Amino acid sequence: MNGSADVEMNIVTPHPQANAAITADEDLPGNVKIAGARNSVQMMKDDIPITAMELERGKNSHVPAPIQKYANFVSEQPRICLFISVIFMLGMSAIGFIVRDDLPDFAKADKGFDARGTDLAAALRTVTHFDAETYKFDDNGISDDLVCNGALTYNQDGSPMVTSNWWGCTNAEDDERRRMAATSRDDVMDEEREALRALYEQHQVEGQTCSYAHSWLFEGSPTWPPMQVVFEAQGDDLLDVDTLKAICAFDDDIRSKYGLAASAETNWATGEPCEDRNLGDYVGYYYHKTCAEITATDVENFRTLLTTCQPAFTAGSLVLCSDEWVPNGCIENAVNNTSPAVPKECFRENIVYDVLANIVDKDFKTTNKVKYTKVIGAYTWENELTPVHTDLESDLDKSYGSAKIAGYRLGDKFDVFTDQLIIDNVFSGGAFFLVFCIMWLHTSSGFIASLGFLQIILNLGVAYGIYMAVMNLPFFPFLNLVGIFVVVGIGADDVFVFMDCWKQSILVFGEGGTLADRMGYVLYRAGGSMLITSLTTASAFCANALSLITSLKCFGVYCALVVVVDYFLMLSYVPALVIIYEKYVRKSPLCCRCCTCCTFCHIPKDPTQLRPLEAWFRDKFGPFVVKFKYPLALAFVALAAGLGFNASGLERPTSADFQLFKATHPMEMYDLQLKYKFNGASDSGTLKLTFVFGVEALDNGNHWDPDDYGKLTYVDMDFDDLLTPTNQAALEGWCDHFRSSSFYKDPCVEDPDDRFCRFQDICQFEWVKAYVTTDCADTTNDFSAILDACSGDDCLEAVGKIGARTTCCGLAFPMTDASIARNCTESVFQLASSDDLLGDRNNGNMGLIFDTATKDLKIFLMQLDTNIEYQETYEVFETFYNDANADMKVAKASLEGTFASKVFYQTRMDFFDLQMSLGIGAYQSAGMSFAFAFAVLMFMTRNPILTLLSLLTIIAIVCCVIGVLVFDNWELNIMESVIISVAVGMAVDFVAHYSHTYLHSPVKDDREIAVLNTLKTMGGSVLTGAITTFVAGGFMVFANTLFFYQFGFFMMMTMIFAWSYSNFLLLPLIAIMGPVKAKKDSAVREKVIQVEE
């Protein structure tokens, strides 16, 4: 048949059913003139020999004995198989709720999204552990207010720690001390209130603004208050009287409607509830009016005031008049104008400061116009603000003068997220319904579609039972809900493959074939194809178990379980369902009378005919693919190369804000964009390196449980270990070593006017050296005389003279006597912790930490400032991280003892740790997914050429998907990390189906005919599988929760590229260079085709 001459052939088939199929196909006459070239379109359209050979191979093919025995059992006892399957599904679905009483809780959606097991994570957990052991708080964070029963203490006598709070320990002897402290506090407060009331009488304004910061509202970050509503000008300026009055009216309506005034924070000086802070009220306060009384002149005068005070605010001269208990210097400035550089009116009530810092956008500095303004509520996190969100979300298009609401923070957005999650899951109902309709249409049987879809739904429950009860995993993150949409797409795809193979089996065996033979054929052919896709998809999800992020680990395992469970149910439940349908339902007279119009119970089509979709793939689509195989392959390779190059631009996340909703959601608009338009949003401050000796940096908790961080692991270190002469010298030079680092911040360079600048980064053992080497005659208790005479680096030597003494002076350093070294070191550390000496210049709780029970030394801490500003730029932190590790390695090498190798540093790099973990985990998981996909394809096909072509197609699909996501400005965040690995599993499905079908093509010595047969056999299943998964993803993109939206968009893009590349790259490549077996089928051809010359 592959000769160059044209021949006339009469096709004769040895089975009557095959002849019936031939005569039913009017497009294929009995005599076909075939030009001998293999790429003849006529030859490719000639399906008769393919059908005949399928018939013959079906009769003579060898289904493995175990599979055939199982098929015989299912065919003989389908009701038993179905009953067992249903009981298993229902039982496993229930057991997850019976065995475990801890139902999934999505109230804290960000739980489990921190890195685990990294060196930075271990350092953070360890420091958190010994902080918790030092200050033992109750479940509310601060007990009444502190329970002093910590296992560790900074006090060298072993006494428990107390904080700067007025009350201390809860033991009996301290009860009186607490009562006296509380009484004293009240007396002090009464005196301060009287003093502040006197100031208010002289300089009060209408209303109560809490402007002297005697409220938690001004404590910590200016972004702390839970209610912040941002208004945006519809033009270029909203600083007009009508707009300000409208915003005031909005604020008053919110306060009254929800009764928020009664629960507002109070001013510590007056005890009165605080008003909300907004621009209109501030204008009124300043001019002794209510917001409703202000005029256009007042507004313009206030604009002039802000413009006048702006330079002082920018220069840092205009500061917040804030002191926790008593009036401070800047209040005196406001009253007496003692700071001529700042106009007196700028200090008044902190109004101007608060407006410039928090109420108007930072661009006012250059434009003198207000584009954005805030309303900041005077409420705590205990207020229930979620109902306010419901109202505001419906008013986003409402105008307030010349402004509209642009976004807001209203309490904890995780509370809103929980409610939204329930709403968004409603979209799964729409996806279920549409997928069910497609299943009904494709299978032509409502009976099979209905009960098959039931299996898909119960699949989720079975996976949940295994996850919770069998594997006993402690955490079920909200990401796992994506499994709902995953199972819809994958489950429906498997049903399509199974049912298509079942329908095609009748063409192989004829209507005379037994159900057992047909089922054995289907389990072997469809089961093998589904096994490849299930293994590769499940492995792609399982690769996320290697992630360093708990939620991703759990998500990967649950979705992998969904895929695996679906595969086994496809081999148990669905075969029994199909046999019951064939035996008892299809030909039921009752069913036919009831359902003749709806095809619920039976398939009305002649099973010996090709369905229209199969005929289209054979007659139209297939010839197109093969005819244009070269240009199609080149075009799609070029497209993959272009999008793959763009995919390389996927960057790590640039914001530490945990995003729960789409970027257009008003709460995310605030977190991601709007809050940065105000001066108070910056998270300033430089990083500090804390060096920790005596404990090992371990994250030894259960990495599958976001609440389990393990416990402290001490290393052998006592005073004798720490204070060997070698270690004394190493610790004395420790800070000096790091002062040569690129990231060191010299406080004397930063603030040369501060004579005591060196105290800010003095290392304790530098002090120890100065202390013990000072002549005893030079020591003194006159702190002031010593400190007044020193400046800069000279203070390091001078501080050694502090404390008149006759011991621990005039010694050589390092000290060789262990007892002297301990006593002198303890004296220095006690002196260094004195607030009377250094005030706020000391390093806080840095130094020696002891066991409260045994009084033994447990931990030693040192701290050093760096010049690294806290930020969210990965590259800056990466350089700092690498430099710090390199310097740390050198510094540790100078120490001796078993504890030396365990010394570590800790700093505020948790977001960088997440960024780094996402990058490592994403590509590691992707690599594992590719490797497993290659191994599965190689094992199942046993053909390196077909495996390589399949792998090339999968890589192209993944590159295209990620390239499109980069075009859409996605970053390598949580979702993208999942996608990179999952994309491999989802991309392999169609590739595996086509490869497996090509491998089992009846004609193996002609690539083009085999490709045509592949499309005829599997094209419809692949297409409908792509449509159902695309539909499931399509419903998800309407969700407001970000993860649902992103995963839905990803599923849609993956289906588009997976279907396109499977058809327009893989099949053309197979038609060009796919594996062939010359003359392998010649015996079969002679049996089924008699050629008459």
Q: How confident is the model over 285-297, as pLDDT tens digits?
A: 888 888 999 999 9
8 A C-beta contact, residue 497 and residue 1025: yes
Give the whole-angstrom CA distance, residue 572 versus residue 82. Answer: 8
DSSP 780: B
Q: How many helices (H) and strands (E) does the chain have?
A: 43, 11
pLDDT digits (tens, 9 = 90+) for 1010-1028: 899 899 888 888 898 888 8
Pick out the chain residues at pLDDT < 50.
1-60, 137-148, 162-193, 195-197, 199-223, 323-331, 334-336, 338, 592-604, 835, 839-845, 1080-1093
Give the whole-angstrom CA distance, residue 978 versus residue 926. Answer: 9
Strand order in the sheet with 399-400: 372-376, 227-233, 403-410, 399-400
Contacts of 18 by beta carbon, 8 Å cutoff, 6+ apart: 51, 52, 55
Sign of CA dihedral 970, 976, 982, 988: positive
8 A C-beta contact, residue 995 and residue 1010: no
State the first-to-last Cα distance of the chain, in angstroms, to the nearest integer.
12
pTM for this model (two decimals): 0.77
Give the whole-angstrom CA distance, residue 764 versus residue 849. Answer: 14
Helix H, strand E, coil C: the string for 1034-1070 is: HHHCCCCEHHHHHHHHHHHHHHHHHHHHHHHHHHHHH
* Amino acid letter, residue 645: F
Give the whole-angstrom CA distance, residue 451 versus residue 601. Answer: 11
3-class SS at 423? helix
Closest CA to 916 of 972, 981, 965: 972
Sign of CA dihedral 452, 424, 672, 416: negative
Strands 904-906 and 848-851: unpaired
Closest CA to 906 of 118, 113, 111: 118
- CA distance to 41, 195, 916, 1066, per residue, from 634 (Å): 21, 84, 37, 11
DSSP 358: I
The predicted structure's pLDDT at residue 44: 41
Give the whole-angstrom CA distance, residue 8 versus residue 6. Answer: 7
Closest CA to 693 of 904, 856, 898: 904
